[in-house]
Homo-oligomer: A and B are copies of this chain.
C-alpha cells in the first residue's frame, strides 16, 4: 500500500521497493531520463495509486544513485540543472533480480482492492444506502472502463505492445469488477 511490498529489514541481495523497481524498469526499457519525466509518466497513467510526488521521486533517484544502481549526467544547455539518469551494470542486475523469476507470492496472490474492502463492510449501511452504493459504484466503474477502453484503442494503433498489454490487464480487472458488482447486487437484492 502504501505500505505494500516493503524492503526486508536486512536483505541478502539489496531488494527494491515497488516504486524503485518500476523506476529502474522504466529507465531500462525507455532509456535514460530525468526524474521529472518519470513523474509525468505516472501522472498520465490511468492508475491513481501513486501520485509520484516530488517528495517521493527526487529522493528515490538520489537513493538509487547512492546505492550504485543509477548514474547521472548533466543535460547540456539546461540552466535548471536537469540530470539524465541511466542504469549502471549493477542497476541492470538488481532490476533483473527484482523482476524475477522467482516471483514472490505477494505479486501473484490476490491484489489489494479498495472497492472490495468497502463491499466487505456494506452491512454497516442500511438497505437503501447499500443499493445506492452499488448503483453509484457500478456506474463509476463503467465510466472508468469506457475511458480506459478508448485509451487502449489509441495505444493499440501506436503499436506499443507492452503498454497495450498493461491497458488490457487494467481493462480486464475493471470488467471482472463490473461482473462481480452485478453478482453482489444480485445476492444483496435477494437478501432483502
Residue positions of A touching B, CB distance < 8 A: 1-6, 18, 21-22, 25-26, 28-29, 46-50, 56, 95-96, 99-103, 105-125, 129, 132-133, 136-137, 140-141, 144, 148, 161-166, 168-170, 172-177, 179-180, 183-184, 187-188, 191
Q: Given known contacts A108-B140, A124-B96, is B165 in contact with A133 (CB within 8 Å)?
A: no
Query: Which interface residue of A21, A129, A180 has the most chain B CB atoms within 10 A?
Result: A180
- State the Cβ distance, A69 to closest chain B Cβ, in Å: 13
Nearest B residue to A166, CB-CB:
B120
Q: Given known contacts A162-B119, A180-B168, is B3 in contact with A103 (CB within 8 Å)?
A: no
What DSSP secondary structure best describes chain A's contact surface?
A: helix
Could you tell me if A103 and B25 are in contact, using CB atoms closer than 8 angstroms?
A: no
> Can you give 24 A-B contacts (C-beta < 8 A)?
A1-B2, A3-B3, A4-B112, A18-B114, A18-B117, A21-B117, A25-B124, A46-B109, A46-B110, A47-B109, A47-B112, A96-B129, A99-B122, A99-B125, A101-B129, A101-B132, A107-B118, A108-B137, A110-B170, A110-B173, A121-B162, A165-B183, A168-B180, A172-B180
Contact of A28 among B118, B121, B188 (CB under 8 A): B121
Nearest B residue to A22, CB-CB:
B117
Chain B residues, Cβ within 8 Å of A121: 21-22, 25-26, 28-29, 95, 99, 162
Nearest B residue to A19, CB-CB:
B3
